[in-house]
Structure 1
Amino acid sequence: LGGGWILTPGFRYMEQFDDGAGPVGGAALTGKLAGVSGSARGYDDADSVDGRLYGARLVFKKGPGKLLFGYTEISDDADIIAPWRGFPTGGYTRSMAQYNWEAKTKSWMVKLTYDFGKANLIKGFRMAIDYAYMDYDDTKEKLGGIKRTDRYIVHIDMWYRLPFLQYLEAKARIGLVEADHRSNGDDPSYDEFRFELNYLF
């Protein structure tokens, strides 16, 4: 790109095949479609887990800074079944504590990461901030297929490698979620704050 910038595009495609799981657990991760067939709770085929995930991203990098633009979309079939701590949208649109791989969910994210140590400003300090929007299927929420509603998320991560202990790292996380009210009137918006001390063996 010139000027020291590096552009790295990325694409992700996941195909989920039903090999007997659908009739057992159903198309929804909530488990509410277990043993149900036909159209139910906003899903056209309640006892099938066939589904697809599409993702695209552009990553611009220059020196200590990195800027990401990401987009993901889940087909309107079944929710994507992810192993524990396996995040299908990770690196594209997943923000702090968010799960955005239910059927017919569309998400986009802008994320900025900056390494203050590499910039010779603050040794051992890094920071990342992302802004994301997640568009869930309103019909599925109204019919009880999912619990999540459309939402905006601001997420900030800060890491600091403590100078007096080489392998000890402090990490602070802030998540601000502004979500639409559920069909029953509940407001799922919330703020979350975390602090960690991690020893890096």
Structure 2
Amino acid sequence: MLKKYAFLSIACGFLSTPALIAETPKSAIKSNGQMIYFEKQKDVNSIKDMFKEGNFYGRLRNNNFYFWYDDSKPNKDFLVSGVGASLVYKSANYNGFDFTIGSYGTYAFFNDSAETVSNLGGRKDLLSRFDYVNTGSKSLYTFAQANISYKYSKTKLILGRQIVETFYTKSNDTKMIPNTFEGIVLESKDLQDTKVKLAYLTKQKLRDHKNFHSVLMYGDANASSAQSPQYTGNDDSGMHQGLTYTALRDAGKSTTAPLIVLDAQNNSIENLQINFAGYIVPELLSQAMGELNYKIDMGTFSINPGVRYIQQFDNGAGAVGGAALDGTPTGYKDANSLDAQMIAAKVVTKFDDYKINLGYSNILDKADLVTPWRGFPTAGYTRSMAIYNWTANTKSYRIELVKGDNKTGVYKDGFIQTSILYVNGDHAKTSSDDYMYYYAGYVKNLENYPEFQYRVRFGYKQYIQDADAQTDSIDSRLEFNYTF
């Protein structure tokens, strides 16, 4: 195992050596994967100049995953790598109009004789599993963005393929290709002290998919005649696997229902931020989220308590797929209802360049939460790398320490994030366990060459009950990014 990690130490030591050329990057990558574009969009007087004065943004990236499992089963410890590139063009602004086109590509390297793509787990986003199963291809190329927008005052309307950053929908661009959607989005800051985003999204393209697909439909044999038809629909983490094409069709439900999202933040009360978000998938599900964060300024440091509440409303999906995300509602009080609730609380202390976050979340003992669009209900409270909590009757507790966070995505002094998480699951349910999760991550931009960024992340999952039936594991990741 030490040999397999040796290249991490060598690479990090090499990259810590300052480069010779100091530049200001055209774009940068925040610790959560969101892109930041520094070049200001130009205003022009003709359609010709709209094209001529636009900006190209390029990115080269490499991701490496090594998973170690504490058992004797063969072919479980393995390395998966991927290389990729993207090119995004943002036009200049002409009379309020502009457009964006983004193309992305990735190629994966792994020993397919030792591990099947169905077991790749968190490494699956380095390729298209559907393409690999059906054609043997380990490459993926897609136009994930292609949209036109119009802006008037502080309100913007965007139509087409796009990244949609809300509480429920995220780009989550931490692998090779971002999560994007097709639809129309209205975002506005015209209301005083308020930001609002309203989205009507007809399709989604997951990070490991080439094509856009239904936002809330799990593929099956009736959806596609190809091999592994589950990869043709929404097969991501947090997807309800009981909401299959066949089950929805037989119940008279749409297999292509849209996702309608509202996201708002208000700061009209001093030191208090009010967040509200909601989604509707017609005739199936809806959710509402309310959150309060209050800042208590103590001079040299601040204390920020926060609370979040989520209510999920079953509008017909429970009768189709049941209360459990995995489609087997063993141990649920009402096996045919998706009515659900979550409560969460945190206390964040900030001082100098540090942040300590004490968080708690509780998915009440009703049904699982359904949010499969890369927005995580426990984010900011108890979510750590690769740990998602949607399961009913599950409580989580986390302490997190962060150093070097900023909003620019350029971490010349380094960004450090560590956390310890305890998850208390419901043993009566098939997908619930008790475990500890230890996480450490480091992000660094070279001081004199900020276009180059590397990330090292480690997560150790340790089961504390039913140890004989579970497998402790280490999830290690090394990523390189170069933007131009």
TM-score normalised by length of structure 1: 0.84
Report deviation, 1:101: 2.1
Q: Runs in 1 of length 4+ with deviation above 4 angstroms?
A: none
Letter of the 2:324 counterpart: A
Question: What is residue 6 of structure 1 aligned with on the other side?
Answer: 302
1:52 aligns with 2:335: no
Contact 1:151–1:179, Cα closer than 8 Å, also in 2: yes
Pair 1:170–1:80, CA change in 2 (3 A): same
Question: What is residue 318 of structure 2 aligned with on the other side?
Answer: 22
Q: Which structure 1 segments of 5+ residues have no match?
A: 34-40
Contact 2:436–2:464, Cα closer than 8 Å, also in 1: no
Contact 1:110–1:130, Cα closer than 8 Å, also in 2: yes
* Aligned equivalents of 2:475, 2:333: Cα separation in 1: 35
* Aligned equivalents of 2:483, 2:386: Cα separation in 1: 23
Pair 1:25–1:182, CA change in 2 (3 A): farther
Contact 1:180–1:189, Cα closer than 8 Å, also in 2: no
Q: Which structure 2 segments of 5+ residues have no match?
A: 1-296
Letter of the 1:11 counterpart: V
Question: What is residue 396 of structure 2 aligned with on the other side?
Answer: 107
* Aligned equivalents of 2:483, 2:443: Cα separation in 1: 13
1:42 to 321, 331, 340: 331
Report deviation, 1:24: 1.4
Letter of the 1:188 counterpart: T
Question: What is residue 447 of structure 2 aligned with on the other side?
Answer: 163
Contact 2:456–2:479, Cα closer than 8 Å, also in 1: yes
Q: How does 1:85-164 map to 2 (within 5 A)?
A: 85-115=374-404, 123-140=412-429, 144=430, 146=431, 148-164=432-448
Contact 2:321–2:336, Cα closer than 8 Å, also in 1: yes
Give SS of 2:319's match.
helix
* Aligned equivalents of 2:348, 2:317: Cα separation in 1: 36
* Aligned equivalents of 2:348, 2:475: Cα separation in 1: 27
Letter of the 1:74 counterpart: I
Relative to its length, the structure with more helix (as a share) is 2
Question: What is residue 75 of structure 2 aligned with on the other side?
Answer: none
Query: Rg bigger for which structure?
Result: 2
Give SS of 2:320's match.
helix
Identity rate of aligned residues, in percent? 38
Letter of the 1:171 counterpart: R
Report deviation, 1:96: 1.3
Q: CA RMSD in A?
A: 2.1
TM-score normalised by length of structure 2: 0.36
Question: What is residue 353 of structure 2 aligned with on the other side?
Answer: 64
Report deviation, 1:115: 1.7
Contact 1:11–1:57, Cα closer than 8 Å, also in 2: yes
Report deviation, 1:65: 0.5
* Aligned equivalents of 2:309, 2:452: Cα separation in 1: 37
* Aligned equivalents of 1:156, 1:200: Cα separation in 2: 25
Contact 2:435–2:465, Cα closer than 8 Å, also in 1: no
Deviation sequence 1:139-176 (CA, Å, 0-9, x none): 21xxx3x2x31001110010001234322211110001
1:186 aligns with 2:469: yes
Deviation sequence 1:16-39 (CA, Å, 0-9, x none): 000011011111011124xxxxxx
* Aligned equivalents of 2:335, 2:396: Cα separation in 1: 23
Report deviation, 1:4: 0.5
Letter of the 2:464 counterpart: D
Provide the aligned length of Structure 1 versus Structure 2: 184
Report deviation, 1:196: 1.0
